[in-house]
C-alpha cells in the first residue's frame, strides 16, 4: 500500500513537471525543475516519516496504546492472630490480593496520558472493588519542568508510588507501619489534583528530582481502613464514635525532593505532606446535654502533617535503605472535644540480589507513639503498655521464576501491637507475634 502511494505521488509530480515544461520557455526550465525537485524531496521526506511511523506501529500490537498489568495472590498467617486480618482464627487468610491493569499513550513528544485500574483485597479492607489507581495527563515543558493533572500516586517516601506493584521490590510488605500503612492506602496513596515535577542538573553536586502535588484524596468510609481508624479514635481513654458514616478530604499537599549525590549510588531524600479532612460520625457516648449518644456530629482532622527523611546506598546488587518519619494529627470533635496523636518511626533494610533467581532482604523497623513511647499512659488507662510501640525484624525472599512471574516468602517477628488500627487493638492481644506472608505475582 505504501509503495502504491509512492508511485501515485511520483506520477503526479512528473505530470505536473511535464505540464510546466509545455507551458514555459527554455529559460525558466532549470528553475522549474529545481522547484519540482524540492517538492519531490519534501514528499519523499513525508513518506519516510510515514514509513517509520508505520514500522513503529507494527511492533506494537495495540498501536499507540501500551497495556500493562499484574495479578498478585497472597496468603497471611500469624501465630497469635494479632494481625488485622479479620476472623482468621489461626487458619490464615487468602484475603490478600491485587489486580491492576494500565493503559498509556505518548500523544506527542511532550504530552502523555494514562490510567490504571486497581482491585485489592486486604482482609476486611477494600474487598476487591475496582478503583482508579491513577489517571492523569502529563505535559513535559522540559526535563526540569513537567505538569500533571488528574489522579497521581503520592510521592511520600522512596516507595509510596510503587506500593501496589509487588514485583518491583523484594519484600511483600514495605516497612509496614504508618509510613507505608497497609490499612488506609486509599487515602495516603494518591492525590487528585495537579502536580509540578522535574529533574534539575546541579552540576558537580549531582541531580535533584522534585515532585509537588496539590489537591485532595479519597476517604473510603464504606470498607476502607480510614473508616476503622476514625471509629477507633480515643479521647481521654474513651472511644466516643460508634460509626463513621461519611468522610471527605478538604485538601492534600505532598512534596518530595530526591538528591542523587556525586557519590556513586548514594541517594538522599526528603518529603513533606499535609492533609485536611472531615468525617461525619455517630457518637457512642453523650457529648453534651444537646448531643446524646447516637448523635450525628462532625469530626475535623484540622491538620495531618507527615515528614520523611530518606537515604539509600546502592553498591552493585546490594541496596541499603533507611527512612525516618514523624507524623502528627489534630482532630476536633464537634467543637467540644479535641485529640491529637504524634508517631515516629524508622526502619533500615538491606536488599541483596544473589543471582537471577533469588533476592533476599532483611530489616528492622521501629514505631512508637511519640506521646507515650513506653506505654505508661496506656497502662495507667487500663490498656497494655506494648500497644504504643511496634518493633519488627523481618526477613524476605523473592524468587524470579521467569521474567514476568515472582514468588515471595516473608517472616515478621513483631514486638508490640501499635501497628494495628485502633479498633483492632484488643485487650487479649499478645505482645509478640510471628507473621508469615506468601505472595506470587505475574506481570506483563
Residue 104 interacts with another protein (CB under 8 A): yes or no: yes
Q: Per CB under 8 A, which region of 2-10, 139-147, 179-187, 382-390 contacts another protein?
A: 139-147
Could you give the CA distance from residue 249 to residue 217 in angstroms, rounded to a whole number?
A: 6
Q: 2 in helix, strand or coil?
A: helix
Residue 114 in the binding site for another protein (CB under 8 A) = yes
Give 148-169 as a DSSP string. Answer: EEEEEE---SSSGGGTT-GGGS
According to the binding rule CB under 8 A, does residue 372 interact with another protein? no
Write the interaction track for another protein spanning residues 298-337; mark x where CB under 8 A is met and - where it is not. ----------------x-xx--------------------
Contact predicate 142/125, CB 8 Å:
no
Shortest distance in whole angstroms from residue 242 CB to another protein: 39
Q: Does 204 bind another protein (CB under 8 A)?
A: yes
Q: What is the spatial distance between Cα 171 and Cα 359, in angstroms, rounded to a whole number?
A: 9
Residue with smaller CB distance to another protein, 41 or 374: 41
For position 276 contacting another protein by CB under 8 A, the verdict is no
Decide if residue 153 touches another protein (CB under 8 A). yes
Question: What is 19-30 written as a DSSP string?
Answer: HHHHHS-GGGHH
What is the secondary structure of 292-358 as a DSSP string?
A: -TT-EEEEEEEEEEEEEEEEEEEETTEEEEEEEEEEEEEEEETTTEEEEEEEEEEEEEEEEE-SSSE
Residues that contact another protein, how many (by CB under 8 A): 45
Give me the residues paired with residue 267 across strands. 260, 312
- Shortest distance, CB of residue 107 to another protein, whole angstroms? 12
Contact code string over 9-48 relative to another protein, x by CB under 8 A? ----------------------------------------
Q: Is the CB of 3 or the CB of 356 nearer to another protein?
A: 356
State the nearest-atom distance from the C-beta of 162 to another protein, in Å: 5
What number of CA atoms fall less than 13 Å from residue 351's CA on the CB side? 17
Q: Which of 164/186 has CB closer to another protein?
A: 164
- 19: cell is 505540464
Provide the grid cell at 421: 488500627
Residue 58 binds another protein, judged by CB under 8 A: no
Determine, following the binding rule CB under 8 A, whether residue 102 of this chain makes contact with another protein: yes
60-82 residues labelled b (16+ CB within 10 A) or e (exposed): eeeeeeeeeebbbbbbbbbebbb
Site of interaction with another protein (CB under 8 A): 52, 59, 66, 68, 70, 100, 102, 104, 106, 109, 112, 114-116, 134, 136, 138, 140, 142-143, 153, 161-162, 164-165, 167-168, 199, 201, 204, 206-207, 209, 262-265, 314, 316-317, 353, 356, 400, 403, 443
Amino acid at each position: 500500500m505504501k509503495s502504491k502511494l509512492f508511485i501515485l505521488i511520483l506520477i503526479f509530480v512528473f505530470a505536473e513537471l511535464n505540464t510546466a515544461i509545455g507551458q514555459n520557455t527554455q529559460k525558466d526550465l532549470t528553475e522549474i525543475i529545481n522547484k519540482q525537485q524540492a517538492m519531490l524531496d519534501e514528499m519523499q521526506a513525508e513518506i519516510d516519516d510515514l514509513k517509520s511511523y508505520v514500522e513503529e506501529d507494527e511492533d506494537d500490537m495495540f498501536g499507540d496504546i501500551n497495556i500493562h498489568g499484574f495479578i498478585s495472590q497472597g496468603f497471611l498467617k500469624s501465630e497469635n492472630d494479632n494481625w488485622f486480618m479479620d476472623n482468621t482464627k489461626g487458619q490464615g487468610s487468602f484475603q490478600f490480593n491485587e489486580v491492576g491493569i494500565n493503559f498509556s499513550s505518548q500523544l506527542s513528544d511532550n504530552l502523555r496520558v494514562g490510567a490504571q485500574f486497581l482491585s485489592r483485597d486486604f482482609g476486611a479492607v477494600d474487598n476487591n472493588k475496582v478503583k482508579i489507581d491513577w489517571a492523569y495527563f502529563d505535559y513535559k515543558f522540559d526535563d526540569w519542568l513537567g505538569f500533571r493533572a488528574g489522579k497521581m500516586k503520592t510521592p511520600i517516601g522512596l516507595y509510596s508510588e510503587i506500593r501496589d506493584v509487588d514485583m518491583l521490590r523484594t519484600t511483600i510488605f514495605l516497612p509496614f507501619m504508618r509510613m507505608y500503612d497497609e490499612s488506609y492506602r486509599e487515602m495516603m496513596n494518591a492525590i487528585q489534583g495537579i502536580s509540578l515535577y522535574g529533574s534539575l542538573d546541579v552540576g558537580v553536586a549531582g541531580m535533584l528530582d522534585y515532585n509537588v502535588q496539590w489537591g485532595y484524596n479519597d476517604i473510603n468510609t464504606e470498607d476502607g481502613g480510614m473508616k476503622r481508624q476514625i471509629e477507633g479514635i480515643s479521647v481521654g481513654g474513651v472511644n466516643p464514635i460508634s460509626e463513621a458514616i461519611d468522610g471527605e478530604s478538604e485538601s492534600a499537599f505532598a512534596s518530595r525532593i530526591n538528591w542523587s549525590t556525586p557519590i556513586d549510588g548514594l541517594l538522599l531524600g526528603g518529603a513533606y505532606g499535609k492533609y485536611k479532612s472531615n468525617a461525619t460520625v455517630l457518637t457512642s457516648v453523650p457529648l453534651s446535654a444537646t448531643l446524646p449518644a447516637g448523635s450525628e456530629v462532625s469530626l475535623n482532622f484540622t491538620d495531618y502533617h507527615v515528614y520523611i527523611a530518606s537515604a539509600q546506598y546502592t553498591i552493585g546488587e546490594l541496596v541499603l535503605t533507611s527512612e525516618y518519619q514523624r507524623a502528627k494529627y489534630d482532630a476536633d470533635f464537634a467543637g467540644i472535644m479535641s485529640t491529637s496523636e504524634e508517631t515516629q518511626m524508622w526502619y533500615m533494610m538491606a536488599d541483596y540480589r544473589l543471582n537471577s533467581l533469588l533476592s533476599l532482604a532483611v530489616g528492622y523497623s521501629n514505631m512508637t507513639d511519640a506521646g507515650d513511647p513506653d506505654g505508661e499512659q496506656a497502662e495507667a488507662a487500663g490498656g497494655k503498655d506494648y500497644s504504643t510501640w511496634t518493633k519488627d525484624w523481618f526477613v524476605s525472599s523473592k524468587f524470579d521464576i521467569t521474567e514476568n512471574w515472582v514468588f515471595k516468602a516473608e517472616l515478621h517477628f513483631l514486638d508490640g501491637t501499635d501497628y494495628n488500627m485502633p479498633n483492632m487493638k484488643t485487650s487479649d492481644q499478645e505482645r509478640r507475634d510471628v507473621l508469615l506472608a506468601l505472595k506470587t505475582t505475574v506481570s506483563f
